[in-house]
A and B are shown apart, each in its own frame.
Chain A
Amino acid sequence: MITTGSKYFYGVTALATIAMVLYMVLVNPNDIGAVALGSLASAAALLGGLTSFTRDSTAHTAKEAVAAAEQPAPAAVWPLIVAIGIVMLVFGIATNPIVFVLGIVALVAGGVEWLVQDYASRASSDSTFNSQLRGRLLHPLEFPVAAAVIVGIIAISFSRIMLNISKSAGAVVFIIVSSLILVVGFLVVLKPNMRGRAVGALCSVGAVALIGAGIVTGISGERAELVEAAEEDHYSHMACGAEADKYFDKHPNNAVSLKSATLATITVRDGKAVATLSGLDTPVETVTIPRSNNVQVLFRNMDTEEHRLVAELGEKTVADTGVKEKVEQCTQLTSEDQVNVLTLNIPKSSEAAGPYKFIVPGLEGQEIEVYVP
């Protein structure tokens, strides 16, 4: 439907489109100018659509329009929010993209609310109907968005606090916060005369406290352990060190849930390391591993002493210094009757340097040759 107001916007759309096409043909199709004109065209089209959709925000009959016009315009906070949005937008371009995005959000939210408010307040002379109309249009969006914002604020503030305080204090704070919520709830139910303002005040205090604490802790940063952990990466698994890794896998059997992925099993029994290939039960002296292939080798320790399996996979030259370094992979120290798994992926053929080796430190002189063809 072409209404008076929308005619203007449709006109702008048409002109801007023509200008864009001309610009693209005559000047440069990839230039920022074409983008600008295109954006103008689509913005005008959007506004045009909106105005014709809301029928220029006008009421339907002349009689109603007059009556509506006589209504005093209600106070509205939306122009202010739109203004703040614009400021944040400009400010955001110069400083922080988050501010910029928040500016856009404020602008869009304020704009939509303003538009609908204005449309509804002049829809008829009946102000109850007008407010119902506004609700009908905006409640579906306002309710869930407000709910999402509340969840977001609580989740972010609360998590900032938790990140700031120590691990053990965290659990306590968590209990206290949730108990407070519960207690307030019960208080309100049990003391029916403590309604209205008191509850509102209580809630406001709680909200301010939470947000305030969130901001303070957010600025003061996360607790030292976390900062350290992020920098040092100290939870990564250690390679074949002399000692047992503090964080070793306590239940390696769970990791070996795929028995069918096992290429060979190396068993230590009575001080001897014996290799068997899956599919063949007789012990073998050498193991052949296809190159560039993830294979798992099971290490089973039947001795009372702890052992680990080490794969010596030749040497590599460190790129910067030219120093040659041994390439090793190993399992964790494995105690009696435990199984551990070594996952190998050997990209280089053993053709050049001779076979690689499996060794079990502590069992000297016993090597199992590994061929990688």
Chain B
Amino acid sequence: MSRHAMSARNAHRVRALAITKLVGASIFLAGCAKDAPQDVFQPKGENAADINNLQYMVFGIAGVVGVIMTVLFVVTMTKFRDKGQPIPEQSHGKPALEITLTIIPALILSVVGVFTFRGVFDLAETKDTELVINVTGQQWWWEYDYPVQGDWGIDKPIITSGQLVMPAGTKVLIRETSRDVIHSYWIPALNGKRDAVPGRIHTLRLHADNPGIYAGQCTEFCGLSHGNMRMEAVALSKEDFATWVTNQQAAYKEPEKDSLAEQGEAVFLNQCVRCHQVNGLKKADGTAAIAAPDENVYAGAAPNLSKFMSRNTFAGATWDLLKKDCRGNVWDAKSEEFGAKYLEGVSADCLNEVDLRRWLRNAPAMKPMYADPTKLEPTDGKYRGMPYLALSESDIDKLVAYLLTLK
């Protein structure tokens, strides 16, 4: 279907819904609150807007029916309370009225049904996809990988986690799956939720009108730290997205000689690389350091930390890598300035060292995880989540310095 026809139809629908939308908006002021990042009434892309139109319609109808029923209840109860009137005629009903009252809701609902039908199929459309991203859920974080797509300059796969980076104004198709239990991917501003089911691949279209950052949260109960499994979708203009792609594919930058960061690299090679891959990192003997999370983590993967500081969050997007005001700078940026600010990544000044250090010191104390080494019998000794590593404070200093170089 051509884009022209699509938008024409959308326009038609928007007109058709204008009245109900007004009513709905006035009843459900919930939709107009400020600063609620997961508000379902603030669509920021065409898929979410489609849903929102349906929401306004059905909330509007529900509101009107609700008002009518309330009036009916109040009138009934005041008019017919026992004022000493005689016991009324024992009439058993009026079939004509009954039938009318059955048909009216049926008619209203069939109108809603028609729009719903169209909405469902519109939202399931995948034919005109422009960019595909694989999204994999795992207890309790999301992994994003970008299959090779020459049109977007992606010559080798990009892998990241926590924040989904996508071009604005583009029809992005995410293909969701999971490595362990069912999770659900939900960025309310961009689309409804879709479960990530292990063994299945589900598709969901995301579209953001403008650059910006959109919050989300895993919405299928996925075990202990379900409450700590968040995600953010970052939409960049197409140029900024190209920059981001180039940056992600750039070669590994070794830390400066004799710096704290270089010592941090050694600590990383010693401790972290068991699970966390950093593409291009080499062992002391010059061979590539390849992580083997499948040997240590039950689900078989851990976040890839290449270009770690190009992201703004860590640990399932639950904590920020940016200090509060630096974060505010990014989140509140106008859409034309947003890309530049986001692409700055995390600088040493902006790094939220408090939380990062707390995490390195004792991750399971910060986020409930199945990481008690004495209780790993059901998983054959493998962890679910990051264990306590007993790092010394000086090791943590070194690691923080090293992680800051991963940009």
Touching in the complex, A and B, CB below 8 A?
A: yes
Instruction: Tell me the residues in window 313-366 of chain A with beta carbons closer than 8 Å to chain B beta carbons.
Output: 347-349, 351-352
A260-B200, A349-B290, A351-B279 given as contacts; is B147 within 8 A of A281 (CB)? no
Report the minimum CB–CB distance from A265 to chain B (whole Å).
12
**A280: B residues at CB distance < 8 A:** 129, 132, 173
One of A279, A293, A349, A371 near B277 (C-beta < 8 A): A349
Closest to A372 in B: B157
Give the nearest-CB partner of B299 in chain A: A292
Q: How far is the CB of B71 from chain A (nearest CB, A)?
A: 47
* B202–A260 CB distance below 8 A: yes
A290 touching B134, Cβ below 8 Å = yes
Q: Is the CB of A351 within 8 A of B290?
A: yes
Measured in the bound complex, the distance between the Cα atoms of B298 and A292 in whole Å is 10
Residue of B nearest to A293 (CB): B179
A293 to B202, CA, bound (A): 14
Interface contact B201-A347, CB-CB below 8 Å: no
CA distance A42 to B132 in the complex (A): 69
Chain A residues with CB below 8 A from B146, complex form: 288
**CB-CB contacts of B264-296 with A at 8 A, as 1s and 0s?**
000000000000010100000000101111100
Are B279 and A291 closer than 8 Å at their CB atoms? no
Structural contact, B177 and A290, CB atoms closer than 8 A: yes
Q: Given contacts A290-B134, A292-B300, A293-B177, is CB(A261)–CB(B145) below 8 Å?
A: no
Q: Mark A287-304, 1 if CB is under 8 A from B, else 0.
A: 110111111000000000
Interface pair A284/B290, CB less than 8 Å apart = no
- A292 touching B126, Cβ below 8 Å: no
* Residue from B157, B179, B201 in contact with A292 in the complex, judged by beta carbons closer than 8 Å: B179
Within 8 A of A (CB), among B127-169: 127, 129, 132, 134, 136, 143, 145-148, 156-159
Partner of A348, one of B127, B158, B292: B292
Determine which of B156, B158, B294 lies in contact with A347 in the assembled complex, contact meaning CB atoms within 8 Å: B294
The number of chain A residues touching the other chain, given as a range, is 20 to 34
With an 8 A cutoff between CB atoms, is A262 at the interface?
Answer: yes
* Max chain A Cβ within 10 angstroms of own Cβ: one of B127, B143, B146, B200: B200
Q: How far is the CA of A33 from the CA of B134 in the complex (A)?
A: 64
Interface of B is mostly: loop
B301 interface hit (Cβ, 8 Å) = yes
Q: How far is the CA of A347 from the CA of B201 in the complex (A)?
A: 18
Query: A-facing mask of B24-62, CB < 8 A → 1, else 0?
Result: 000000000000000000000000000000000000000
The answer to whether the Cβ of A286 comes within 8 Å of any Cβ in the partner chain is: yes
Provide the bound-state CA to CA distance between A224 and B202, in Å.
Answer: 49
* Cβ-defined partner of A373 (8 Å) among B157, B177, B294: B157
Q: Across the interface, do A290 and B200 meet the contact criterion of CB distance under 8 Å?
A: no
Let me know if A258 is at the binding interface, CB within 8 A: yes
B173–A349 touching, CB < 8 Å: no
Which residues of B lie under 8 Å from residue A220 when comparing CB positions?
Answer: none
B217 adjacent to chain A (CB < 8 Å): no
Residue of B198, B201, B279, B299 contacting most chain A CB atoms (<10 Å): B201
A352 to B288, CA, bound (A): 6
Cα–Cα distance between A12 and B266 once the two chains are bound (Å)? 71
Nearest CB of B to A61, in Å: 63
Cross-chain pair count, CB within 8 angstroms? 87
B278 to chain A, nearest CB (A): 10
Is A278 in contact with chain B by the CB < 8 A criterion? yes
* Residue among A284, A287, A291, A294 making CB contact with B199, cutoff 8 Å: A294
B145 surroundings in chain A (CB, below 8 A): 288, 290, 373
B175: Cβ under 8 A from any A Cβ:
yes
Say yes or no: is B304 at the interface (Cβ < 8 Å to chain A).
Answer: yes
Instruction: Using A280-B173, A293-B177 as known contacts, say yes or no to A287 and B147 having CB atoms under 8 A apart.
Output: yes
Query: From residue 232 to 261 of chain A, which have CB atoms closer than 8 A to chain B?
Result: 258, 260-261
Residues of B close to A288: CB separation below 8 A:
134, 145-148, 157
A352 engages B290 (CB within 8 Å): yes
Q: Which of A258, A279, A292, A349 contacts B175 (CB 8 A)?
A: A279
Q: Are B290 and A348 in contact (CB under 8 A)?
A: yes
Given the known inter-chain contacts A286-B148, A349-B290, please indicate yes or no for A258 contacting B200, CB distance below 8 A.
yes
A263 adjacent to chain B (CB < 8 Å): yes
Q: Which of B143, B200, B300, B301 contacts A261 (CB 8 A)?
A: B200
Q: What residues of chain B lie closer than 8 Å to A292, measured between beta carbons?
A: 179, 293-294, 299-301
Q: Among the listed B156, B202, B299, B300, which residue makes an inter-chain contact with A371, where contact means beta carbons less than 8 Å apart?
A: B156
List the B side residues contacting A258 at CB < 8 Å. Answer: 199-200
Complex alpha-carbon distance, A316 and B195, angstroms: 35
The smallest C-beta distance from B129 to any residue of chain A, in angstroms, reads 6
Residue of B nearest to A290 (CB): B136
Chain A contacts of B143 at CB under 8 A? 290
A368 to chain B, nearest CB (A): 11
Q: Output the least CB separation between A69 and chain B (Å).
A: 63
Assembled-state Cα–Cα distance A293/B291 (Å): 16
Asked whether A284 lies within 8 Å of B148 as measured between CB atoms, the reply is: yes
A51 to B110: give the CA distance in the assembly, Å: 74
Q: Cβ of A295: which chain B residues have Cβ within 8 Å of it?
A: 177, 201
Tell me the nearest residue of chain A to B288, going by C-beta: A352
**Cα-based distance from A260 to B200 in the complex (angstroms):** 6
Contact partner of A291 among B147, B158, B173, B301, CB < 8 A?
B301
Contact of A285 (CB < 8 Å), options: B134, B148, B173, B293: B148
Shortest Cβ distance from A148 into chain B, in angstroms?
36
A263: shortest Cβ distance to chain B, in Å?
Answer: 6
Which A residues contact B (CB, under 8 angstroms)? 258, 260-263, 277-281, 284-288, 290-295, 347-349, 351-352, 371, 373
A-B CB contact pairs (8 Å), 27 listed:
A258-B200, A260-B201, A261-B199, A277-B175, A278-B175, A279-B126, A279-B175, A281-B127, A286-B147, A288-B146, A288-B148, A288-B157, A290-B134, A290-B136, A290-B143, A290-B145, A291-B294, A291-B301, A292-B179, A292-B293, A293-B177, A295-B177, A347-B294, A351-B279, A352-B288, A373-B145, A373-B158
New A-B contacts (20) at CB < 8 Å, excluding given A278-B201, A288-B148, A288-B157:
A258-B200, A260-B201, A277-B147, A279-B203, A280-B129, A280-B173, A284-B148, A288-B146, A290-B179, A290-B301, A291-B294, A292-B299, A293-B136, A293-B177, A294-B199, A347-B294, A348-B292, A351-B290, A371-B147, A373-B157
